[in-house]
A and B are shown apart, each in its own frame.
Chain A
């Protein structure tokens, strides 16, 4: 079974540019989550999709961030325009059930390291 795939693994962009991160969840997983870890601090929740719908987007920092999951498969997270404080590692995770359990654990991708200069 393929795991959660994220790309790119690294991205270096200049302030003001646009970057799009992609996450491919495990096939069949309706639930997809985005998290972010900034500058060695805690990992923070960004948003949660159930299929193509945004279930909870309370963690999105501002309107420069746009997440989509067209067709309920892969998801993209676009940052436009990027600011210095957006630098960090962006993690994607997926699960089969809404509330992860022993039968439906939460699987994380390796993350995308974003550096804004």
Chain B
């Protein structure tokens, strides 16, 4: 079945550091890929997505590229801020399927 594996956290960085959170997936066919973020005390929000190979999703300075050859969708940001502290979830949805399959989440803490 479909699955998502995320880099284990927690991750702690200093402000303005470069961020990478690794995500790899296993799926049949061509899934859509997502990054969701959960800020403290809030629900999940869609951060970015990509629906086909080589697509790059981007939002709020974050980027992730759909790499079919490596089955990966790593999240990157060039310069993180304290306000980026949150839990990040990588997810996929298979073709023809409505439900999302999530990774285990990565807690990110940015120190000033």
Q: Residues of A at under 8 Å CB distance from B? A: 3-4, 31, 33, 35, 37, 40-45, 48, 55-56, 59, 91, 93, 98-100, 105-106, 108-111
For the complex formed, measure the closest distance between the CB of B107 and the CB atoms of chain A, giving whole angstroms. Answer: 8
Q: A42-B105, A98-B98, A99-B98 are in contact. Are A110 and B4 (CB under 8 A)?
A: no
- On whether the beta carbons of B104 and A41 are closer than 8 Å, the reply is yes
**Could you tell me the distance between the alpha carbons of A52 and B29 in the complex, rounded to whole angstroms?**
30
Chain B's closest residue to A31 (CB) is B98
Q: Which residues of A contact B41 (CB under 8 A)?
A: 110
List 6 interface pairs A-B (beta carbons < 8 Å), by A numbering.
A33-B98, A42-B105, A43-B100, A108-B44, A108-B45, A110-B41
Number of contacts between A and B (CB, 8 Å)?
Answer: 53
For the complex formed, measure the closest distance between the CB of B51 and the CB atoms of chain A, giving whole angstroms. Answer: 9
Q: Which residues of A contact B89 (CB under 8 A)?
A: 42-43
Q: Which residues of B contact A33 (CB under 8 A)?
A: 98-99
Q: Residues of B at under 8 Å CB distance from A? A: 4, 36, 41-46, 89, 91, 93, 98-105
Contact of A45 among B4, B36, B99, B105 (CB under 8 A): B99
- On whether the beta carbons of B43 and A106 are closer than 8 Å, the reply is no
**Could you tell me the distance between the alpha carbons of A45 and B105 in the complex, rounded to whole angstroms?**
15
For the complex formed, measure the closest distance between the CB of B14 and the CB atoms of chain A, giving whole angstroms. Answer: 24
For the complex formed, measure the closest distance between the CB of B45 and the CB atoms of chain A, giving whole angstroms. Answer: 7
Chain B's closest residue to A47 (CB) is B99
For the complex formed, measure the closest distance between the CB of B25 and the CB atoms of chain A, giving whole angstroms. Answer: 12
Chain B's closest residue to A111 (CB) is B43
For the complex formed, measure the closest distance between the CB of A21 and the CB atoms of chain B, giving whole angstroms. Answer: 14
Q: Which residues of B contact A35 (CB under 8 A)?
A: 100, 102
